[in-house]
Amino acid sequence: MKRFTLSNKERIKRRKDFEQIFSNGSYIYSKKRLIKAVYLAEYSGAEAGVKAAIAVSKKQGIAVWRNRIKRLIRESFRLNKEILLESCLRKNILLKIIFSPVNFTEKNNKKIKLNDVLPDVLEIMLKLKSVL
């Protein structure tokens, strides 16, 4: 896998995977409770690595705002994915993560920037690394 990319193989796309993660996964929140992550770790030697997705509710804002926050969370993950990738490859774990904003709404945060999202995503990733 390339270092700073997020290829199609590293994304969660199937509905079955989403349902499996939401039903069997564990939740983890950032310290400010702005972003949450649902994760599921599967011990498999053949396909070790990290897969991620971003889910934003329609109640949080209009489509333009939802797409922007998804792009920002995806970029934050992409820049820091090596934190989790190394430990998952070493332990032969397939880690599936779904990030979603909790207290970010369009009403509260009209203009959102990468600096607003990056620390919370990074904190969640470091917590996940310690859990694994």
Q: CA 23 to CA 103: how far, in whole Å?
A: 22
> Residue 2: CB partners within 8 Å, gap ≥ 6?
none
Q: pTM of the entire structure?
A: 0.88
> Residue 89 has what pLDDT?
86
State the chain's maximal CA–CA distance in angstroms: 45
Q: Which residues of the chain have pLDDT under 70?
A: 1-4, 45
Whole-number pLDDT of residue 83:
87
Domains recognised in the chain with CATH numbers:
8-131 (3.30.230.10)
Distance CA 36, CA 17 (A): 18
Q: Which residues contact 12 (CB under 8 A, 6 or more apart)?
A: 18, 21, 51, 52, 53, 96, 98
